[in-house]
Amino acid sequence: MSEPRNVNLPLVEDPRPRLKDPCPRCDRLEMREPLETNALSRTTRGVYDAPVYVCSECGNDEGMEEFMLRSATPQSAWPLPALSFKGLIEATSAMDLKLVKDMPRDEV
């Protein structure tokens, strides 16, 4: 079995236009057009909750919080100073990019 390689891939910029308003969870200008292509916050999954969209990284972070911590950070704690699982999100993003890069072009 071969040893895993250290993969340092540059992050690929999302080509979708950005919205003028920041992500309500992290306060960064990472929200994309149209609004519905962003992540639906896990804090707004109730029947009568108004939908709140967050950037993709915050959506991933909420998913990991819910899985590992059993609940996502409530909206009353927003904006967050940092993502709870930033390192893990960055590592999995790099692995995803490597998989896509190594995939034969006819499978993409």
Among residues 65, 81, 98, 93, which one has the least CA distance to residue 73?
A: 65
Q: Can you tell me the mean pLDDT for 15-26? A: 90
Cα 24 to Cα 70: distance, rounded to the nearest angstrom: 21
Quote the pLDDT of residue 66: 95
pTM, whole model, 2 decimals? 0.74
Q: Picking from 20-24, 31-35, 96-100, which range would have the lowest pLDDT averaged per residue?
A: 96-100
Cα 53 to Cα 24: distance, rounded to the nearest angstrom: 8
With contact defined as beta carbons under 8 Å apart, do 65 and 73 qualify? Answer: yes
With contact defined as beta carbons under 8 Å apart, do 30 and 24 qualify? Answer: no
Residue 2: is its pLDDT beyond 60? no
Quote the pLDDT of residue 1: 46
Quote the pLDDT of residue 12: 59
Query: Under DSSP, is residue 5 helix (H, G, I), strand (E, B) or coil?
Result: coil
